[in-house]
Amino acid sequence: MKVKRKIIIVGVVMILHALQKGVLSQEPLPFKCYQDIKDVGEIFCKITGQRRFMNIIWQDLVLMCTTAYSNLSIPFKVTEDQIVICPDDLEKKFDTWKREWLRNEIQAKNDMCNCTEKHR
């Protein structure tokens, strides 16, 4: 009986510890402005040949790729806190920035296709 009680206590302690550490909780949903930053980072890294978006340097608000030889800065004044809060006006700026990079991606694909067609 005492062994069974000890096992239950140990189990409860382990579950409580896991809950406190967030192990059993879901990941937080990404906030909208940061999702736009990640999407732009993916496009930038892909069309510059730097593989994938790796991270953002929060102090400088610079996007880094996995093979970082060229970084991308956010083209408008913004703070880390504003990115987390993501007010509507800022969300619109990030959406516009993302649309511009989507156009850049399409143009880069078209340019590459045209270039390879000329050299065949």
Cα–Cα distance list, 13 to 33, 84, 107 (Å): 38, 34, 57
Structural domain contains residue 87: yes
Structural domain contains residue 2: no
Structural domain contains residue 12: no
- What pLDDT score does 26 carry? 47
- What pLDDT score does 3 carry? 72
pLDDT surpassing 90 at residue 93 = yes
Residue 23 CA to residue 25 CA, distance in Å, equals: 6
Nearest Cα to Cα of residue 93 among 103, 83, 102, 84:
83
pLDDT surpassing 80 at residue 10 = no
- What pLDDT score does 4 carry? 73
This prediction's pTM: 0.68
Structural domain contains residue 91: yes
67 falls in which pLDDT band (50, 70, 90)?
confident
Structural domain contains residue 41: yes
Structural domain contains residue 52: yes
Structural domain contains residue 109: yes
Beta-bridge partners for 36:
none
Residue 34 CA to residue 91 CA, distance in Å, equals: 10
- What pLDDT score does 107 carry? 93
Structural domain contains residue 20: no
Domain that holds residue 81: 28-118
How many structural domains comprise the chain?
1
Identify the top-confidence range among 20-24, 65-69, 73-77: 73-77
